[in-house]
Copies of this chain bind each other. A is one copy, B any other.
Amino acid sequence: MARVHNFNAGPAGLPLPALERAQRDLLDFDGTGMSIIEHSHRGKAYEAVHNEAIGLVKDLLSVPDDYHVLFLQGGASQVFATLPMNLLPAGKSADYLVTGGWAEKALEEAQRVGTARAAANTAVGKSFTRVPRPDEITLDPAAAYVHMTTNNTLFGTQWHGLPSVGGVPLIADMSSDFMWKPFDVSKFGMVYAGAQKNIGPSGVVVVVIRKDLVEAGRKDIPIIFRYATHAANNSLYNTAPTFSIYLIRNVLAYTKDIGGLAEIERRNRRKASLLYAAIDENPEFYRGPVEKESRSTMNVVFRLPSEDLEKRFVAEAAKKHMVGLAGHRLTGGIRASLYNAVPYESVETLVSFMKDFVKTA
Interface residues of A (CB under 8 A from B): 1-4, 6, 8-14, 16, 19-20, 22-23, 26-28, 31-35, 37-43, 73-78, 80-81, 85, 108-109, 112-113, 194, 196, 201-204, 220-225, 237-244, 247, 321, 323-324, 329
Contact B33 A13 (CB under 8 A): no
Q: How far is the CA of A96 from the CA of B45 in the complex (A)?
A: 36
Contact A80 B224 (CB under 8 A): yes
Provide the main secondary structure of the chain A interface.
Answer: loop
Contact A26 B23 (CB under 8 A): yes
Q: Which of B3, B27, B74 contacts A33 (CB 8 A)?
A: B3
How many Å from the CB of A32 to the closest CB on chain B?
A: 7
Contact B4 A224 (CB under 8 A): no
Q: Which single residue of chain B is at the shortest CB-CB distance from A24? A: B23
Residues of B within 8 A of A38 (CB): 6, 8, 11-14
Q: Which of B3, B8, B240 contacts A202 (CB 8 A)?
A: B240
Q: How far is the CA of A70 from the CA of B9 in the complex (A)?
A: 24
Contact B12 A224 (CB under 8 A): no
Q: How far is the CA of A16 from the CA of B38 in the complex (A)?
A: 11
Kindly name the residue among A40, A75, A202 whose own CB sees the greatest number of chain B CB atoms within 10 A. Answer: A202
- Could you list 9 examples of A-B contacts with CB < 8 Å? A6-B38, A14-B35, A16-B27, A19-B26, A20-B27, A37-B247, A73-B241, A203-B203, A243-B244
Contact A239 B202 (CB under 8 A): yes
Known: A20-B27, A26-B19, A244-B243. A41 touches B202 (CB 8 A): yes
How many Å from the CB of A86 to the closest CB on chain B?
A: 12
Q: How far is the CA of A26 from the CA of B225 in the complex (A)?
A: 33
Residues of B within 8 A of A75 (CB): 73, 238-239
Residues of B within 8 A of A37 (CB): 11, 14, 19, 201, 247
Contact B27 A224 (CB under 8 A): no
Q: How far is the CA of A329 from the CA of B43 in the complex (A)?
A: 12
Contact B26 A26 (CB under 8 A): yes
Query: Apart from A26-B26, A241-B241, what are 18 other A-B pairs with CB-CB below 8 Å?
Result: A1-B28, A10-B40, A11-B37, A11-B239, A19-B26, A19-B27, A22-B26, A23-B26, A23-B27, A73-B241, A75-B238, A77-B239, A78-B224, A78-B238, A81-B225, A85-B222, A113-B222, A203-B203
